[in-house]
Amino acid sequence: MATPTQHHKRRRLSPALHDVADELLFLILDRVAADDPRALKSFALASRACHAAEARHRRLLRAFRADLLPAALARYPTVPRLDLSLCPRVTDASLAALSTAPSVSAVDLSRSRGFGAAGLTALVAACPNLTDLDLSNGLDFTDAGAAEVAKARRLQRLSLSRCKQLTDMGLGCIAVGCPDLRELSLKWCIGVTHMGLDLLALKCKKLKILDLSYTMIVKNCFPAIMKLQNLEVLILVGCNGIDDDALDSLDQECSKSLQVLDMSNSYNVTHVGVLSVVNAMPNLLELNLSYCCPVTPSMSSSFKMIHKLQTLKLDGCQFMPDGLKSIGKSCVSLRELSLSKCSGVTDTYLSFAVSRLKNLLKLDITCCRKITDVSLAAITSSCPSLISLRMESCSLVSSEGMHLIGKHCSHLEELDLTDNDLDDECLKALSGCRKLSSLKIGICLRISDEGLNHISKSCSDLREIDLYRSGGISDVGVTHIAQGCPMLESINLSYCTKITDRSLRSLSKCIKLNTLEIRGCPMVSSAGLSEIATGCRLLSKLDIKKCFEINDLGMIFLSQFSHSLRQVLTLSSVNVIIAIPCFTIVLITY
């Protein structure tokens, strides 16, 4: 008797689902997935119609085993993205087994090895609409493979980072074969020279983003690159072949489209070369000169020729006297300024600079050890709209400075106060930053559960909290955080020696938690870990080094439930680390 009614119900439900437009249905499913990522599974199990709807809704297929790809593609015929980054080994045979999948437009093979040119031939043949291909870390990737990739004529985005065997020949094939290319990464492609780049610039006129970091390029590749009319982003990190002479060869205003230039770690560039860059690229929005050269006043005043400059990164630079001051004078439109690990940043210069930079949204003064409350007063008073402030290890800043932050910077979303002189009172003041989503208060030995209570009450949007070596924290504080911040995704409790399984039990209620670091917490045991494993099903990174109470039992729970785990840092004292679908295990042996 029961069977007919069930049948009847199913029949009634299916037409109802059919009546709903796919767009609406997908919106509902999006909402459902945002609340509970595993809800989609349940939905797909409800009926055939739901199953089909879920199949249509899926945008990404992240396979654990490449040899089962054909079946997966049969289950999800409309999925556009194929992520094989969890398959460390993808053989030519498994790629050859792919049947035609016209829906697939993006394939990620960045962490896979074991396939060659033949596999790529099959992949390109199976995915006629391929527009996005990531072949990073392809140490076996050769020119023959590049010739096969070149057959994907619709390719728009291609990453070949660390394909060290690639030469101009392969790049030439790709340049001729993929005229629609918009984004190309040739990072660490040390075999590529100006000849290949010349051809690339000639054939791929639509190129917008070009990454040439750590390549051996020299001066003579510039003319071709500068001819790219649509180039917006040029990454030249660590290109030691680029020096002042090379930059001097740039013509005045040679590239009007370029918006982002990253030349960090280019040791052979001095202020002379920077001046040439500034003259050549007047429309830059972002300039990264980290770890390049000392910042002189003339250099920083030349920045005023880039009217629209919004982001300036000068990490690790040595500031000459008045160098920072003239940044304040010349870059008034600046929204993001990064000065981490700079020497020569003093209260006088910094407070002068920030007083002119009214639009500043992000400021990084990590390890600027000379600054005091004076600077902080200037920052908080002149940049009230600041959303990100990173000031790790600014040890001269006292708790008064922290109070100023809490009082004035109510828009702060990201705050890094690691290794500062912080106490519970400061945290109470900081709870005025209600929009905080990331808070790093590691190595603040004076904070306690009470401070965390203030944070948890006001910062309900908190997604990331770092309590590394904040030894005053106990289970009570962690419980406050876990209860007050349900959106928590990442928590670092390493070396908080007081915490026990109770903390983990409370954290297991944060279902979005994906990163948990409890290194060196001796009181945490397998029981706590099992709570995490069953509660936080999205957990992907776990650090349980030096948690000597955790044994095989905890690992078994992990293997059973944490299917998202991708990285576990553990010790050899744990014997069973198997059966977790696909993750990287880092074993530390004594």
Partner 1 sequence: MESGLGRSSETSLKASPSMASNTSRNTDLDQQGGRFNSMDQSFFARPGQSFPAFPPLFGVQSSSLYLPDDNEAKIGNQFEPNPSLNNPTVDWDPQVMLSNLSFLEQKIKQVKDIVQSMSSRESQVAGGSSEVQAKQQLVTADLTCIIIQLISTAGSLLPSMKNPLLSSNPAVRHLSNTLGSPMGFGSSCNQRPSSNNEVTIPDITKTPDYEELMNSFNTATQGESDELMKCQNSCGGEGSEPIPMEDHDVKESDDGGEGENLPPGSYVVLQLEKEEILAPHTHFCLICGKGFKRDANLRMHMRGHGDEYKTPAALAKPSKDSSSEPAPVTRYSCPYVGCKRNKEHRKFQPLKTILCVKNHYKRSHCDKSYTCSRCNTKKFSVIADLKTHEKHCGRDKWLCSCGTTFSRKDKLFGHVALFQGHTPALPMDDVKVTGASEQSPDSEAMNNMVGSIVYNFAGSSSDDIPNLDMKMADDTRYFSPLCIDPCFGGLDDFTRPGFDISENPFSFLPSGSCSFEPQNGDS
Among 80, 392, 195, 70, which residue's Cα sits nearest to residue 175?
195
Q: How far is the CB of 203 from partner 1 (least distance, A)?
A: 8
Q: What is the H or E stretch that residue 107 is in? A: strand 106-108
510 counts as binding partner 1 under rule CB under 8 A: no
* Shortest spacing between CB 538 and partner 1, in angstroms: 7
176 sits near partner 1 (criterion: CB under 8 A): yes
Please list, in sequence order, all residues whose beta carbon lies within 8 angstroms of the beta carbon of residue 501, skipping any fewer than 6 positions away.
523, 524, 525, 527, 528, 531
Q: Torsion over CA of 339, 402, 468 and 484, rounded to 10 degrees?
A: -120
CB of 138 to partner 1, least distance (A): 14
Task: Choose between 96 and 569: whose C-beta lies nearer to partner 1.
Answer: 96
- Does position 528 interact with partner 1 (CB under 8 A)? The reply is no
Separation CA 180–CA 159 (nearest Å): 14
3-class SS at 547? Answer: coil
Q: Output the CA–CA distances (angstroms, integers) from residue 256 to 132, 146, 185, 252, 279, in the order listed.
A: 27, 31, 21, 10, 11
Site for partner 1 in 463-492 (CB under 8 A): none
Nearest distance from residue 2's CB to partner 1, in Å?
A: 18
What string marks each residue from 38 to 77 as x (binds partner 1 by CB under 8 A) or -? Answer: x-xxx-xx-----------xxxxxxxxx-xxxxxx-xxx-
What is the helix (H) or strand (E) element at residue 40, kind and residue range?
A: helix 39-46
In angstroms, what is the minimal distance from the CB of 199 to partner 1?
5
For position 568 contacting partner 1 by CB under 8 A, the verdict is no
Contact indicator for 470, 442 with CB cutoff of 8 Å: yes
- Burial (CB count <10 Å: 0-12, 13-18, 19+), residue 390: buried
Judge contact between 442 and 416, C-beta under 8 A.
no
Minimum CB distance to partner 1 smaller for 173 or for 485: 173
DSSP string across 247-265: HHTSPTT--SS--EEE-TT
Considering the rule CB under 8 A, would residue 576 count as an interface residue with partner 1?
yes
CB of 518 to partner 1, least distance (A): 22
C-beta of 576 vs 588, nearer to partner 1? 576
Stretch near partner 1 under the rule CB under 8 A, chosen from 12-20, 198-206, 263-271, 319-327:
198-206
Q: Which of residues 86-145 bind partner 1 (CB under 8 A)?
A: 92-94, 96-97, 99, 116-119, 121-122, 143-144
Choose the stretch contacting partner 1; rule: CB under 8 A; options: 194-202, 336-344, 349-357, 479-487. Answer: 194-202
User: Binding residues for partner 1, how many (CB under 8 A)?
Assistant: 70
**Binding status of residue 13 toward partner 1 by CB under 8 A:** no
Alpha carbon 249 to its chain centroid, in Å, reads: 35
Per CB under 8 A, does 198 bind partner 1? yes
Q: Is 358 in the site for partner 1 (CB under 8 A)?
A: no
Q: How far is the CB of 306 from partner 1 (least distance, A)?
A: 33
Q: Is residue 542 involved in binding partner 1 (CB under 8 A)?
A: no
Helix (H, G, I), strand (E, B) or coil at 467: coil
Nearer to partner 1, 173 or 367 (CB): 173
Find the binder of partner 1 among 182, 335, 537, 545 (CB under 8 A).
Answer: 537
Report, in Å, the least distance between residue 220 CB and partner 1: 11
Of residues 40 and 436, the one with the C-beta less far from partner 1: 40
Whichever of 58 and 111 has its CB closer to partner 1, that residue is: 58
Q: Is 560 in the site for partner 1 (CB under 8 A)?
A: yes
The answer to whether 173 contacts partner 1 (rule: CB under 8 A) is: yes
Query: Which is closer to partner 1, CB of 61 or CB of 574?
Result: 61
Interaction between residue 303 and partner 1 (CB under 8 A)? no
Burial of 180 (0-12, 13-18, 19+ CB in 10 A): middle
Nearer to partner 1 among residue 78 and residue 270 (C-beta): 78
Nearer of residues 168 and 424 to partner 1, judged by Cβ: 168
φ and ψ of 405, to 5 deg: -60, -50
Q: Distance (Å, rounded) from C-alpha 14 to C-alpha 200? A: 52
Task: State how far the Cα of 113 lies from the Cα of 186, in Å rounded to an integer.
Answer: 18
For 118, phi then psi, to 5°, come to -65, -40
Q: Which stretch binds partner 1 (CB under 8 A): 34-42, 411-419, 497-505, 521-529?
A: 34-42
Please tell me whether residue 33 binds partner 1 under the rule CB under 8 A: yes
Question: For partner 1, which is the closer residue by CB, 194 or 390?
Answer: 194
Token reading at 325: 């001051």
Alpha carbons 471 and 186: distance in angstroms, whole number = 45
Closest listed residue to residue 38, CA positions, set 379, 498, 539, 445: 539
The gap between the terminal CA atoms of the chain, to the nearest Å, is 65
For partner 1, which is the closer residue by CB, 342 or 555? 555
For residue 12, CA distances in Å to 5, 29, 42, 56 come to 10, 20, 19, 21
Check binding of 177 to partner 1 (CB under 8 A): yes
Residue window 422-451: x/- pattern of binding to partner 1, with contact defined by CB under 8 A: ------------------------------
* Closer residue to partner 1, CB minimum distance, 141 or 495: 141
How would you label 487-518 residue by residue, b for 16+ Cβ within 10 Å and e otherwise?
ebbbbbbbbbebbbbbbbbbbbebbbbbbbbb
Distance of CA 247 to the CA centre of its chain: 30
List of residues contacting partner 1 (CB under 8 A): 30, 33, 37-38, 40-42, 44-45, 57-65, 67-72, 74-76, 92-94, 96-97, 99, 116-119, 121-122, 143-144, 147, 150, 168-169, 172-173, 176-177, 195-196, 198-199, 202-203, 537-538, 556-557, 559-561, 563-564, 576, 578-582
